[in-house]
Amino acid sequence: MIASSSCQIMRSLHFFIFFSALITTYSTSTAVEITKGINGLDKVILRQTQGSGVEVYLYGAHVTSWKNGQGQELLFVSSKAIFDPPKPIRGGIPICFPQFSNLGTLQSHGFARNRLWTVDNNPPNVTSEVANGVFVDLLLKPTEEDLKIWPHRFEFRMRVTLGPTGDLMLASSIKNTDADGKLFTFTFAHHTYFSVSNISGVEVKGLGKLDYLDNLKNRERATEVGDAITIKSEFDRVYLSTPTEISILDQEKKRTFVVQKDGLPDAVVWNPWEAKAKTMADFGEDEFKYMVCVEAAAIEKPITLKPGEEWKGRLQLSTRL
């Protein structure tokens, strides 16, 4: 008992030193703040001088808020979201790794979204792009328990950057750190929930005429007929070999989200609609109207890394009126 509470104190002290160092090293005025979020979970807040802001929980390296310079929330988080590990948080930007959906033996969407990540106080490769922004580097390495369900050693670094004009960048690098010469294969997605005024006035552009796998029909392959996608019922498709830019038009707000991506060839478009929403304990019955997921992903062709190899993926979100 005493050992475990002194362990806890040491851990808290470690966090405190860690975070104080982070604030001292990387903050310009109030740009980076470490604080407690819902249920006492640690979260990092990034703020830009023009008023935009991002919040990311260490639990899941989960971005739960992205606000523009006018203080408007751009991401959807369910009013019923449960911030209680190991339950994943419903909304924001969950990370699906090392498995997308049920494409493997792990739980749905893998385990990265259910793990406590750490802050890297000594981040490498600070380029001019991130130097102009406000950023935090989060790290995930497997625990002995993780190795029992996925026997591969890796280091996953995600740099969350809030750019000077309020763009949100997620730059991921995943390295195979296995010393036994074993390769591994994974699928991946940034499962972004965008906040929209009403799904009936939303158009997803950039996926027209592309092939997709329909998750509602056993991943049957089909070809999109239209230029812009509109959603009028449950929708769950993996679009394949998509362009580096996809946009989401919210007609009522006259706002367009722009999704730019590298290393993430696929794009999932998901809305549970009414009937499925009713079966989800952490999602309000009519909340399907106010969200759409457009997920930058690598699914059709899983990524394989030999020991020492590294994969990089990048997602940039911005808005234009």
Q: Which stretch binds ligand BG6 (CB under 6 A): 10-18, 101-109, 147-155, 171-179?
A: 101-109
Number of residues that bind ligand BG6 (CB under 6 A): 10
Determine the residue with CB nearest ligand BG6.
Answer: 108
CA neighbor of 172 nearest in space, from 233, 112, 245 = 112
Q: How many residues can be counted in the chain?
A: 321
Establish if 43 lies at the interface with ligand BG6 (CB under 6 A).
no
Establish if 114 lies at the interface with ligand BG6 (CB under 6 A).
no
Residue from 153, 157, 191, 289 that binds ligand BG6 (CB under 6 A)?
191
- Least distance in angstroms from the C-beta of 143 to ligand BG6: 21
Establish if 264 lies at the interface with ligand BG6 (CB under 6 A).
no
Residue from 22, 112, 268, 291 that binds ligand BG6 (CB under 6 A)?
268
* Exposure class string for 189-209: b at 16+ Cβ within 10 A, else e: bbbbbbbbeebeebbbebbee
- Least distance in angstroms from the C-beta of 280 to ligand BG6: 7
DSSP per-residue letters across 127-147 = -HHHHHSEEEEEEE---HHHH
Is the CB of residue 264 less than 8 Å from the CB of residue 242?
no
Q: Of residues 62, 152, 190, 295, which has the active-site annotation?
A: 295
Nearer CB in complex with ligand BG6: 20/108 = 108
Establish if 62 lies at the interface with ligand BG6 (CB under 6 A).
no
- Least distance in angstroms from the C-beta of 176 to ligand BG6: 25
Residue from 109, 152, 261, 289 that binds ligand BG6 (CB under 6 A)?
109
Q: Which of residues 124-163 bind ligand BG6 (CB under 6 A)?
A: none
DSSP one-letter code for 305: E
Residue from 30, 35, 108, 230 that binds ligand BG6 (CB under 6 A)?
108
Alpha-carbon torsion 131, 133, 134, 140, what sign?
Answer: negative
Is the CB of residue 183 less than 8 Å from the CB of residue 177?
no
CA dihedral 209, 213, 215, 216 (to 10 degrees): 60
Alpha-carbon torsion 244, 250, 254, 255, what sign?
Answer: negative
- Least distance in angstroms from the C-beta of 71 to ligand BG6: 28
Cα–Cα dist 240/249, whole Å: 21
Cα–Cα dist 207/210, whole Å: 6
Residue 293 exposed, middle or buried by CB count within 10 Å (0-12, 13-18, 19+): buried
Establish if 270 lies at the interface with ligand BG6 (CB under 6 A).
yes
Cα–Cα dist 170/173, whole Å: 10
Establish if 266 lies at the interface with ligand BG6 (CB under 6 A).
no
Q: Of residues 190, 191, 287, 300, which has the active-site annotation?
A: 191
- Least distance in angstroms from the C-beta of 158 to ligand BG6: 18
Cα–Cα dist 211/229, whole Å: 13
Q: Which of residues 221-240 bind ligand BG6 (CB under 6 A)?
A: 236
State yes or no: is 295 an active-site residue.
yes
**Three-state DSSP state, 194:** strand
Nearer CB in complex with ligand BG6: 33/214 = 214
Nearer CB in complex with ligand BG6: 32/317 = 317
- Least distance in angstroms from the C-beta of 295 to ligand BG6: 6
Catalytic (active-site) positions: 191, 295
Residue ranges that bind ligand BG6, judged by CB under 6 A: 88, 101, 108-109, 191, 215, 236, 268, 270, 295
